[in-house]
Structure 1
Amino acid sequence: MTDFAIGDIQGCYDRLLAVLDKVGFSPSRDCLWVAGDLINRGPDSLKTLRYLESLGGATRVVLGNHDLHLLAVALGGHKPRKKDTLAEILDAPDHDRLIGWLRQQNLCLHDAKRRLFMAHAGLPHIWTVNQANALARELEAVIQGPDAEEYFTYMYGNEPERWDDGLTGMLRWRSITNYFTRMRFIAQDGTLELDTKESAGAAPGGFAPWFHFPRDEDITVLFGHWAALEGKTGRERFIGLDTGCVWGGALTIMNLDGGERIHCDC
């Protein structure tokens, strides 16, 4: 049995099958960790979602901002954006089942034995692994529960900019969402800067890439979301898996035990 982790697929179904074939992935014996942004912007979002859902226990998924956006359109009354490729999912006869499956997925994954942590955007230095796990479970309960419609209606926004343990309700939920699925640049005090999307060297004044801040814990963090990094963080313990497949880059898969990274050009 081999566990693999893969970066942002974003509906690039053919490339997904190609890179899985490269590593000899078999759902009967292997497991695939997906770093979020399963769908949207690519050509085959519906096929991708159906395939990943069909893997059952052979896949472990964290939600990305594009996945939450689909749920916000389906459940929160938001309209698709101009560049979205979500219509085929929303119109599919198995739409309800796929949306229901997506709602059941995690915001982070933690393998204590391997000392691995995965979240779509990463792990802010202001949270311990235990705290991040607890906050993820808290928000997952909202997404899966009776407050989901309210959450998805008001999910969007950059406020509050900084985490506070005393936050409650929608402000708390939105803050957790932004750290897990939108974070790139952060300040020492935990303030997020959510507008800049360029590479690590483009940090606005007073901010730095979130992985530049040291952690005391013995943990390796896997993340997607930041295609402009091209998978390069310059830090061994912070592994970027989004290598811009949907933008013409590559789709990257990693062996979680050996550490090898295999790419499929897009």
Structure 2
Amino acid sequence: MPGYVIGDVQGCFQQLQSLLAKIQFDANKDYLWFCGDLVARGPDSLATLRFIRSLGDTAKVVLGNHDLHFLACAFGFAKADAKDLLDDLLHAPDLAELVHWLQQQPLMYFEPERQLLLVHAGLAPHWPVEIALQAAEEVSVVLKSSPERLFSVMYGNSPALWSDAQSEQDRWRFTINSCTRMRFCLANGALELKEKRHPEKVSTLIPWYAFWQQKPHPQIFFGHWAALMGDSPVKGIHALDTGCVWGNYLTAYCIETAQRYSVSD
């Protein structure tokens, strides 16, 4: 049963189909993990979401920042920007079913037996996996049961440290920012959420994964950071966003063989 981790699709449905053809994906024996950001900015978010939902248990999905923003728009707590290309999705006849399905998806997926962690953005410094999973589950429970409570407080960059998250709203926001928005941190591990460039162009900040270079960690699969173009900078930490929506590639990583596959169209 080969398993493949796929980077940010972002509505690039045709590229996803080309990638699945390239790896000769067989839904009867293979499985897929998606790093989040299934929707937004690409040409066909509706077809993408419908297709991945149709895979059922064959696919594991974690939520990305664009997925959460889409949900906030669907619940009336945000407005979609024209560049997000979400109109077809937001006006789809099966919108309610797609929204409900996306609400059930976690921020993190972890297999303790194989020590594999799937997350959209990364694992925050000084955040043990057990604590991160508990925090992610807390957000998931609220997303499923009381999404209005979550979306009313989701947006914002603080707190930047888990230790400063004193209220449940602070915990939710830090967890969402860590799991779906983080790229760089300050030297003390505080999240810095504005910088998007490649680390070689930024001398004053530290990539989140650098904090794990000398510490034990599971294999981590993440997307979100297109500027890395799939460069895996730390052993056992795998970058999968190769900027498909920006005209580059969509990439799949085979868990069993460590081989990468990419398509551009």
- Shift of the alpha carbon at 1:46? 0.1
**SS of residue in 1 equivalent to 2:177:** helix
- What is residue 236 of structure 1 aligned with on the other side? 235
Structure 1 contact 40–85 (Cα < 8 Å) conserved? yes
**SS of residue in 2 equivalent to 1:117:** strand
**SS of residue in 2 equivalent to 1:122:** coil
Structure 1 contact 2–31 (Cα < 8 Å) conserved? yes
Deviates more, 1:89-98 or 1:183-192: 183-192
- What is residue 207 of structure 2 aligned with on the other side? 209
Distance in 1, matches of 2:66 and 2:217, equals 30
TM-score, with normalisation over the residues of structure 1? 0.95
Q: 1:184-232, CA deviations, whole angstroms, 9 ceiling, x for partnerless residues?
A: 0012422111111111123352x20001113532411110000001011
Distance in 1, matches of 2:232 and 2:263, equals 20
- Shift of the alpha carbon at 1:24? 1.0
**Paired letter, 2:210:** H
TM-score, with normalisation over the residues of structure 2? 0.96
Instruction: Give matches, 1:218-257, under 5 Å.
Output: 218-257=217-256
Distance in 1, matches of 2:178 and 2:217, equals 20
Distance 1:202 1:162, change over 3 A: farther
Give the share of equivalent positions with the same residue, in percent. Answer: 43
Instruction: Give matches, 1:134-149, under 5 Å.
Output: 134-146=134-146, 148-149=147-148
Q: Give structure 2 stretches of 5+ with no counterpart.
A: none
Distance 1:247 1:49, change over 3 A: same
Q: Which runs of 4+ in 1 moved over 3 A?
A: none
Structure 1 contact 185–203 (Cα < 8 Å) conserved? no
- What is residue 87 of structure 1 aligned with on the other side? 87
Aligned length: 264
- What is residue 63 of structure 1 aligned with on the other side? 63
- What is residue 163 of structure 2 aligned with on the other side? 164
- What is residue 153 of structure 2 aligned with on the other side? 154
1:25 equivalent in alignment to 2:46 = no
Distance in 1, matches of 2:113 and 2:82, equals 43
**Paired letter, 2:117:** F
Q: 1:26-81, CA deviations, whole angstroms, 9 ceiling, x for partnerless residues?
A: 11211110000001000000000000000001000000000000001011421111
Distance in 2, matches of 1:35 and 1:188, equals 26
- What is residue 191 of structure 1 aligned with on the other side? 190
Structure 1 contact 243–250 (Cα < 8 Å) conserved? yes
**Paired letter, 2:193:** L
1:260 equivalent in alignment to 2:259 = yes
**SS of residue in 1 equivalent to 2:157:** coil
- Shift of the alpha carbon at 1:126? 1.1
When the two chains are superposed, the root-mean-square deviation of aligned CA atoms in Å is 1.4
Deviates more, 1:74-83 or 1:21-30: 74-83
Q: 1:140-177, CA deviations, whole angstroms, 9 ceiling, x for partnerless residues?
A: 0011112x112112211111122226521222211110
